[in-house]
Amino acid sequence: MGRGGCVAVQMNDGSDPSFSNHASEVWYCSIIAALGASDVGLSSASRLTFLEWRLQKLDLLLAPEFRLRKRVKDGIGLLKQDVEEVSSALVDLSMLETPSLRAKCWMEEARELSYHIEDFVDDLTLIRTDARAKIRSVSSHRVGCVKIALLPASPRCSTRVAKIAQLRDLLWQASERLERYQLDACCSSPKHMNMITQHCRAPALYGDAANLVGIDDSRTKLIEMLTGEAEQQLKVVSIVGPAGAGKTTLAKEIFRELRGQFELRAFVHASRKIDMRRLLGSILSQVQPHHQLPSVASSVQSLIDISQEQLQDKRYFIVIDDLWEETAWDIVRGAFPEGNNCSRIVATTESMNVALKCCSYMADNILKMKPLGIQDSGYLFFNRVFGSEQQCPDELKEVSYGIIRKCCGLPLSLIHVAGLLASIDYSELWYHVHDRLCSILNRSNTVEEIQKKILNLSYNSLPCCLKTCLLYFNMYPEGYIMWKVHLVKQWIAEGFINPAEGKDREEIAEGYFEELVNRGMVQPMKIDYNDEVLSCTVHHIIFDLINHNSKEEEFVAAIDYSQPITGFSTKAHRLSFRFSSAKYAKQPEGIVISQLRSIGFFGLLKCMPPIVEFKHLRVLILEFWGSHDRHMSLDLSRICISFQLRYLKISGDIMVELPAQMQGLHYLETLEIDARLSAVPLDIVHLPGLLHLGLRAATELPDGIGHIKSLSTLLYFDLRCNSEDNIWSLSKLTNLQHLHLTCSAALSSDHLKRKLIPLVFSLGKFCNLKSLTLTPDGLRTSIFFDIWSGISSPPMFLQKLELLPPICLFYRLPTQIGELHKLCILKIVVKELQGNDISNISGLPSLSVFSLYVRTALTGTVVFSTMAFPALKYFKFTCGVMSLAFQAGAMPNLQRVKLCFNAHRGKNHNRVLDGIEHLLNLQEVVGRIGVLPGVDESDWRVVKLSFEDIIRKHPRCPRFNSQLVDFIEEEYPPLDKFHLRLHGGSSSEHEIVERACAEDMDKHIDSRQRLWHNQFWRKAEALCLRKPVSWSRARGTGDTCGR
């Protein structure tokens, strides 16, 4: 026996003395995942569950499969009993609406104690895990039929027993203080607000319509201010009003309505602590989305100069939301050239001084927001709670109007109260809410005070799970735009989400996010065509509340570069460093928190504090802003010390150095790095619990990606950088739900095809796949390759399919797509339309977004029949020569159409969009008209006027805008293979008359070739018109593609 070790006997059948059989080994792997869960929430209202979660961890340690010394197990059993006693008292205290100061202090102590208990359990688990890994790797020698191995030493049993005794003593002291403070008597206090939180039902779905109530007059006036005068010079209009009055809502609606009238446009958000680099960078990214963006090292002045250059001689429309300082306007104003192109800027602010400064002290250019009237207030309130006033029970109407009047016509307050009441099933609690409003509000309250008091009432009524998730927003800087997909993963990594029967953790977390949106606690930013909120921000009033409560609860400690680190709490278990891109920010000193769970860093790399000290870290978010030397690197070679790490996200223009081996991160679930990597650890494919993996494009992963059986999300998997063997191994990822593929550089057609063949094989194995995206990135090679042809059974749960050009083009629409009944988003490129291609997919019940690019010029009209695409809301169609027709009842929910086609001299464009009047819900039509270099402006204007005449046929006069773009690539059928075909017959739902293409033509046809082709087609068409079937009268209820 060597020093510090012990001798174990390992039988030649491979058994382990710590595990009785193979089933025990499987159980051991599952217990590692279970013990990895963190606390489920630490705000005062959510503490009723965090000790209960520790109880679950202790139960796992007490399971017979987890081998511990008897003295240790007995001690853990007694510890569990003590935890149960404290937890029961904590549940009662957490139900108090207004706990006393002593109760708050006691709950704080209980929370700290829970962290000590959890750390002990985690350390014990780590020891068992490391020992398990080392047993497999130790050297051994055989004596007869027995192997003798030297095992690593583990902490003495007496040390663990002593630690358990220490924890039990702390629990006894907590129980003694509970009795001495007579806190049990507090549990008899009123718990009305808790009753509200215990009877939550699903709130009404979020929708834009509810937020547009009462702004018609303001919208009309603002549109007149922006467009009513024939003013050629740049004009700035200010919207001023108190917080929550609807300024942002109005600005968004005006931007959506007028953006099509301008060549360039941008909508950006400022904040109280504005980062001018990010603001100017956001403007540039929107006005030049397809150009090379300036480096993060660019100074503010260089960004201003670039903006001036980009906007010069252009008609632009810029909205700057939530501007606070006059000095900020002085800086950003320099980015906008004057010009004589009727450019417009809208600024929203709460300050009249800022509003006057923005519009050069011209009071006529200021729009003052007014409170909603009682009728509009009622409309907003009842729509949020019941769907309409008619659905409100008669017994609640009187009290409802009493509550509405207390909100003083402020939309944000109405939304908060409506969100609260939508969660109440008992009518008597409505009267309690009304009485509370009467008690906390009086006539002397200012608008700001009313907002804050109503917000506090709404916050206090939140269920504990929502309150915890809301406080987590304090991990981010004010005004930051957060994506739901990231928040959901972070909440899960923190342990806020408990799995429920029939739902996984992500579904539950997404439900929490949606409820916060419906309650008005977070402000939606990006919403897709299924009305799903994809990103959000937090209103500054709510942010102040979150920040205040987060400090009080010691939930998150925020460190700002502009504030000295004074009064810093060492009890906070989450740190947020908000250093922005300020060059004078310095690395903080003296931060020592042994039980830190999460770090969020936003700033310069040089200010990054050391993180290797925090071994119990669960979440690490690193976003590096501002200027960086390309040679600077982030050293994470010791990150495995944080053995509890579950979520790691890094972004920035820096180099990241990961450890050579990462298998020490047993619990890591999310690894997303949008930065340059010095090298990818070879054992990354052996991380046991990895669920989400996303590395920057052009990153080569080690072979064996298929070993990560748990993987659910794989982002930016590069077809060029990864080997064919690695692509083949994708087929082993049977749990994969989201796959994003890219190709970062040029490949030959043969090479690309060899890469796609194993992909086809893998797609047939992805039975759980929900989204598949293929983007070209740097690739310019295109091939006709039907990736569906080799799949006998397509992924039936697929919701999103984006196959973007030029990587993979189809000869025609795959028929298998029509079998994907859950499909919501489809973006695809085909060589030509044939037969019943459109009819095969027109019945998809969930398809809301459809983008189709047809390479071969249409030789007839595509007709969409009655009830085609019943759920479609956005339709984009790209083809050099276009002719579409809509029958009555087609696309009944369509809201936006985008058409991309070429302007051909002498061609009649009156049938580009025939039957538009049948699209009853159409709100916007966008045209992108391609022209060859040297085409006269008069030709372009003729096409535009024809297009506008078509739009005017619509009874609702949808918004319309058109722009001149580069000529759209188009192909023509070969001349020697021309003949006429009629598919489908009279019994087919969709008929098509087309000219057949025997072989495809390669690239652009020059202008002389195209002229010759057009002359030929006119002669051919004259011959075809003598045929029995007419091009213009081909009958059928569906698509027709004839010339």
- What's the token pair of residue 470? 């809301």
Can you say how many angstroms the Cα of residue 899 is from the centroid of all Cα atoms in its chain?
Answer: 27
pLDDT at 941: 78
DSSP readout, 330-378? HHHGGGS---SS--EEEEEES-HHHHHHHTTT-GGGEEE--PPPHHHHH
pLDDT at 616: 84
Average pLDDT on 429-445 reads 85
Q: What is the pLDDT of residues 787-806, one digit of tens each?
A: 666 666 788 899 999 988 77
Do residues 623 and 646 make contact, with C-beta atoms less than 8 angstroms apart?
A: no
Of residues 784 and 946, more confidently modeled: 946
Average pLDDT on 451-469 reads 89
Calculate Rg over the CA atoms of the chain: 32
Residue 39: pLDDT above 50? no
Q: What is the pLDDT of residues 95-107, one digit of tens each?
A: 676 777 888 888 8
Write down the pTM of the prediction: 0.82
pLDDT at 129: 54
CB within 8 Å of 530: residues ≥ 6 apart? 824, 848, 873
Do residues 590 and 613 make contact, with C-beta atoms less than 8 angstroms apart?
A: no
Euclidean distance between CA atoms 229 and 586, whole angstroms: 51
Residue 1025: pLDDT above 60? no
Mean pLDDT score of the chain: 78
For residue 650, count other CB atoms closer than 10 A to its CB: 22
User: To 5 degrees, how large is the angle CA 405–CA 410–CA 412?
Assistant: 120
- SS3 state at 490: helix
CB within 8 Å of 122: residues ≥ 6 apart? 35, 616, 644
Q: Are strands 874-878 and 896-902 parallel, antiparallel or unpaired?
A: parallel
pLDDT at 587: 59
What does the DSSP 8-state code read for residue 647? Answer: E
What does the DSSP 8-state code read for residue 433? Answer: H
Q: Residue type for 430, please? A: W
pLDDT at 952: 84
Residue 731: pLDDT above 80? yes
Q: Which of 53-62, 332-341, 535-544, 1025-1034 has the lowest mean pLDDT?
A: 1025-1034
Average pLDDT on 703-724 reads 92
Buried b (16+ CB within 10 A) or exposed e, 763-780: bebbebbbbbbbbbbebe
pLDDT at 330: 93
Of residues 686 and 909, more confidently modeled: 686
Q: What is the pLDDT of residues 129-173, one digit of tens each?
A: 554 544 444 444 444 444 444 444 445 667 888 888 888 888 888
pLDDT at 713: 96
Residue 208: pLDDT above 60? no
CB within 8 Å of 127: residues ≥ 6 apart? 154, 155
Euclidean distance between CA atoms 717 and 698, whole angstroms: 8
Buried b (16+ CB within 10 A) or exposed e, 302-322: ebbebbeebbeeebbbbbbbb
- What's the token pair of residue 985? 């017959």
Q: Which of 246-260, 574-588, 599-613, 798-812 has the lowest mean pLDDT?
A: 574-588
Locate all alpha helices (DSSP H) within 368-504, ordered by sequence: 374-385, 394-406, 411-421, 427-440, 447-460, 464-471, 484-494
The residue among 110, 111, 55 whose CA lies nearest residue 81 is: 55
Do residues 323 and 348 make contact, with C-beta atoms less than 8 angstroms apart?
A: yes
pLDDT at 629: 67
At residue 673 the predicted structure's pLDDT band, cuts being 50, 70 and 90, is: very high
Rounded to 10 degrees, the C-alpha dihedral 1032/1034/1037/1041 comes to: -70
Residue 950: C-alpha distances to residues 370, 864, 884, 888, 1037 (Å): 38, 17, 12, 16, 22
Residue 961: pLDDT above 60? yes
Q: Which of 624-628, 807-811, 993-997 has the lowest mean pLDDT?
A: 993-997
Longest dimension (CA), the chain: 104
Domains and CATH numbers, the chain: 48-132+155-186 (no CATH), 212-368 (3.40.50.300), 463-554 (1.10.10.2260), 556-583+590-676 (no CATH), 841-972 (no CATH)
Angular region, 554: left φ>0, alpha ψ -120 to 50, beta rest: left
To which residue do tokens 């059948």 refer? 13
pLDDT at 998: 27
- What's the token pair of residue 966? 């580069």
Of residues 1016 and 248, more confidently modeled: 248
At residue 954 the predicted structure's pLDDT band, cuts being 50, 70 and 90, is: confident
pLDDT at 773: 93
pLDDT at 601: 92
Of residues 1021 and 268, more confidently modeled: 268
Buried b (16+ CB within 10 A) or exposed e, 965-996: eebbbbbbbeeeebebebbbeeebbbbbbbbe
Residue 126: pLDDT above 60? yes
pLDDT at 786: 66
Q: Which of 518-532, 578-592, 729-743 has the lowest mean pLDDT?
A: 578-592
Q: What is the pLDDT of residues 2-29, one digit of tens each?
A: 333 333 333 333 333 333 344 333 333 4
Of residues 676 and 147, more confidently modeled: 676
Average pLDDT on 828-840 reads 87
Residue 483: pLDDT above 90? yes
Q: Exposure of 654 by Cβ count < 10 A (0-12 exposed, 13-18 middle, 19+ buried)? A: buried
Can you say how many angstroms the Cα of residue 112 is from the centroid of all Cα atoms in its chain?
Answer: 33
- SS3 state at 756: helix
Euclidean distance between CA atoms 588 and 576, whole angstroms: 12
Q: Which of 98-107, 222-231, 295-304, 668-677 has the lowest mean pLDDT?
A: 295-304
Euclidean distance between CA atoms 922 and 522, whole angstroms: 29
Of residues 626 and 817, more confidently modeled: 817
Q: Residue type for 659, please? A: P
Residues in the chain: 1043
Q: Are strands 140-143 and 146-151 parallel, antiparallel or unpaired?
A: antiparallel
User: To 5 degrees, how large is the angle CA 995–CA 1001–CA 1005?
Assistant: 105
Residue 34: pLDDT above 50? no
Euclidean distance between CA atoms 619 and 623, whole angstroms: 13
To which residue do tokens 């045929």 refer? 1027
Buried b (16+ CB within 10 A) or exposed e, 707-746: bbeebbbbbbbbbbbbeeebbbbbbbbeebbbbbbbbbee
